[in-house]
Structure 1
Amino acid sequence: MDTTPQLFGPGSRTLRRGAFSLRIQRRSLIVTFLLLIAALTVGWWNLISGSAMLGASEALAALLGTADEGTSRVILEWRAPRVVFTLLGGAALALAGAVFQSQTRNPLGSPDIIGFSTGAYTGALVVAVLGLSGLWATPIGAILGGIVTGAAVYLLAWKRGVSGMRIILVGIGVSIFLSSLNTYLVTTLRLEAAMAVATWGAGSVNDITWSHVLPLLGIGAVALPVMLANARNMQLMEMGDDAASGLGIHLERTRLIQFFCGIVLVAVVTAAAGPIAFIALVAPQLALRLTGAAAGSSHTGQLIPSAAMGALLLTLSDSLARAPMIPVSLPVGVITLILGGAYLVWLLMSMGRTSRKGA
């Protein structure tokens, strides 16, 4: 049995260079490339558009360090961090979504559905209530909140092992409890801080700076290789715990590693921009469909296409939030809620039709 990691999906060709091997499906590679081009194109548009519309030559000059001071400030200090964050943040959320959907073997197994995003929000709120500050204070608070929430969901769902449906049901219950706690924590803040937190809680990238991008970049640089290294084990586990165990996979260790990486990625995005809903839910599913993967195919086998799709979705959502026909710049979470809510309704209706056909 060939168990080479399928980083670009099933039905792929194996490339080998010594001890290194990689499976690449041509369609997945093409789709990933096109998604990245689309994401970078939308990101470039976001870089030059805004209240002060700049030309492509002016933006390029700012990036090369030859523009005037005003243009450089607009591009490098105000717009570039936001563009880079939406690209990296969307990819991080999509990677986490692919991992959790693989863990639960359910398209609803998303970190914003099962409470991890809410837990990260709780951790960041606790830091705000305690008055802690610093570059890493909020990210660390959000990460700890996400980890504690993940541990609680995992332990509450444990019953001689964990099942995907138990994780989802327990996660929804924990999310409801934490949402109530978050509402209470907001009421304990001063008015100015509460208003800022309310905007942040809607999922906003309006105030993103390089200080928000750097933690995401650093944590992502560590988490992504770990997730890719465990992709093969996760794919085998999707065949069932008994089959994976028979192939020598350490089930709980693999789950915990992927759980931890997914939670940390969600938490660091949440710490900077607040909980951004539905990117983690939608991106892996759209990646599966665009790459032509059959229903029930591996989610971890689609990590790279999912990341590219997530980057495009969040960058595009930010572009729509800043559209000229909208009088004010909306929190990007408002746009993702609208798009993701429509997708969730469609997904539930589709699952209902599939169940009736199976009956």
Structure 2
Amino acid sequence: MPSAPRPTLRDVARAAGVSHITVSRVVRGSPQVAEATAARVRRVIRRMGYRPDPVLSALAAYRMARGEGDSANTTASPAATAGDAEAKPARRRSAQTRSRGSVLAFLDCDLHRNSRQFNRDTLQGIRREAALLGYGVESFRMEPDEAIQKRLGRMLFHRGVRGLLFSPTDVLWTFTGWDWAEFAPVSLGALDHEPAMHSVAMDYFQGAAQGFDKLARMGCRRIGLVVDSRLEARTGHRWLGGFLAQGGARSRYYGEGGLHAPALFLAWAAREKLDGVLTIDPVMAKLLPGMPLVYLNNLGAPEGFLRPVLNPETVGAEGVRLLHNMLLRHELGIPAERRRIELQGRWTTAERIVAAR
């Protein structure tokens, strides 16, 4: 027996008594539709089991990027006029915003500017994935001050921005002053900020555990973890956790890195009788010539050494996909049950891969 045909956007529009343009705006989370109309359309979407066609979404994004989106002159069907009469007047927005449909906010939380290149690459991935889904992206600098955060939240709300992407950072944040019921937030990075939200990050724990195992397979028995403590903390101590879980000794964790005081580091390495090292420090190859080394990330790892490769753009793109699904389902607010997506890199000794520009 043939299955029932998949409901289309126009099917939803007929059932809800609005135009297909209105349904498209509701699906994208556009602020141009009155909340009562949007709620009615979402009820019909849930009842009919409608899901956007990814191919059509990509085509719509392409047309919007060329200035052919729903802000262009379009004639709605007479049957939908009553429903469309409830639409709010369009807010004044930039040409980019009008051509893209909805806008996502990238909130740069890198207070100490320690993650500039990583965040630039992450933002690049966000912009590319967002364009495929029909979103524009605007970047804003975050500040710890509650009053400043509150003003930013109000400004984003009144501009119709509902999707928030908080950047990777090595600082734990407490986000205050936000009316969370109006936003869908996603954190990019391993740190557990307050309030806890859905997040996307590299799987640092498994990376350290797998790196330890690779050194053990090389015959190493006294393996050290040499990572600057500030950068290790950025993983939510998952590098240290993966190292210890595989049998590493707490005394064989060196948190100063090799660059700060090489003589002190070498004296420590001799005392611990290391025969293998997990690290992210490119100087290790010079300080410990001939010793087996495994790098925990791709940034600065010398050619010829094992490392897991995960382009930061991948983290940004995955964050957009997660946020897009939340907006489609109108999942606003802080989740009762938090989801974390952890991405594993591909182990390689090949030449360092640089994020595409």
Q: Give me the TM-score of the superposition, normalised by structure 2.
A: 0.25
Choose between structure 1 and 2: higher helix proportion.
1
Structure label with greater radius of gyration: 2
Of the two structures, which has the highest relative contact order with CA contacts closer than 8 Å and spacing of 6 or more?
1
Normalized per residue, which structure has more strand?
2
Q: Output the TM-score relative to the length of structure 1.
A: 0.25
